[in-house]
Each structure stands twice: as C-alpha cells, then as structure tokens.
C-alpha cells in the first residue's frame, strides 16, 4: 500500500495527493485503465465529479470568483482522472469498511514517522 506524511499540510490536500499518487502509479505501471476509487472525503469526490468542470470553465475560479483552493493538486488530479476511466465512490469513514480502516491505520502510522514523504507499505 502507498502511504505518506506531510506535517505541514491539510487533510484535504492529503486526500487529493493520495488519489493523485494512486492514479499516477497506475498510469506509470499499466497506462490508462479502469479503476474505482473509494473515499470517505466528500471534498474529493464532489470536487472531481461535480465541481471541477465548472472550475475549469471559469479559469479555476469558484462560483464567487475566488481562486480554487488546492488548485495545484486539483489540476494534477484532473489530468490523471481524464487519463483513466475512474469511478468515484464515497463511503462513510470509521464505519468498518476494510479498505477504509486499512487506510486510516496507514495514515496514523505515517503521521508517527518523522519528516515527510511517501512510501509503499
């Protein structure tokens, strides 16, 4: 499993980074493919499935004309999501879903490490 740590960031940025890192890894190993992303982040799911096309059409601005937050990561994720055929599925966090529980354990382990970076576990 891929996990990472960046003590100087936000939860939303880590959610975006994790999805982008996974899609980039797939792209590098397999090329374009069909993939299902499960996430407990509505910010990630709604952003990539509902909001992003409007942001792009407005020059990466929100409906109230403010710059999109985390635009650097959204741009990367947008490109990667268009490379693959991605299904985005929301699941409730901390509700016993095995993959979500595994992701939470990996995130907790990564928080305990010193420094920052990503690794395969």
For the chain, what is the mean pLDDT? 87
- Listed in sequence order, the residues at least 6 apart from 102 whose beta carbon sits closer than 8 Å to its beta carbon are 1
* pLDDT computed for residue 89 by the predictor: 93
Q: How many CA atoms lie within 13 A of 98 on its CB side?
A: 0
2-34 per-position pLDDT tens digit: 677 677 778 899 899 989 999 999 999 999 999
**pLDDT cut 90: percent of the chain above it:** 63
> Could you give all domains of the chain from N- to C-terminal order, each with its CATH number?
17-25+33-112 (3.30.420.10)
Cα–Cα distance between 121 and 113 in angstroms, integer? 13
Q: What is the mean pLDDT of residues 66-87?
A: 96
Average pLDDT in the 69-82 region? 96
Where do the DSSP E strands lie in 1-121?
2-5, 34-39, 85-90, 117-120
């Amino acid at each position: 499993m891929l996990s990472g740590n960046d003590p100087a960031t936000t939860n939303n940025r880590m959610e975006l980074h994790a999805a982008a890192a996974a899609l980039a890894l797939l792209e590098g190993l397999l090329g374009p493919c069909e993939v299902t992303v499960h996430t407990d982040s509505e910010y990630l799911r709604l952003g990539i499935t509902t909001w992003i096309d409007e942001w792009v059409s407005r020059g990466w601005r929100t409906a109230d004309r403010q710059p999109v937050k985390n635009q650097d990561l959204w741009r990367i994720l947008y490109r990667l999501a268009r490379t693959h055929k991605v299904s985005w599925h929301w699941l409730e966090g901390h509700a016993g879903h095995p993959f979500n529980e595994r992701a939470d354990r990996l995130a907790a382990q990564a928080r305990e490490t010193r420094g920052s970076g990503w690794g395969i576990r």
